[in-house]
Amino acid sequence: MTYTIKEVSELLHIPASTIRYYDKEGLLPEIERKESGYRLFTEENLRALRLIECLKSTGMPIKDIRTFFEWVKQGDSSLMQRYEMFLERRRAVEEQMEALKKTLEVIDYKCWYYETAVAAGTMDVDRGPNPRQNPLETDFSCK
List, for residues 68-85, the tens digit of each pLDDT value. 999 999 999 999 999 999
pTM (global) more than 0.75: yes
Whole-angstrom distance, CA of residue 142 vs CA of residue 140: 7
Q: Within the chain, how many helices (H) and strands (E) appear?
A: 5, 2
The chain-wide mean pLDDT, for the chain, equals 89
Q: How does 40-74 read in b/e, with b if 16+ C-beta sit within 10 Å?
A: ebbeebbebbeebeebeeeebeeeebebbbebeee
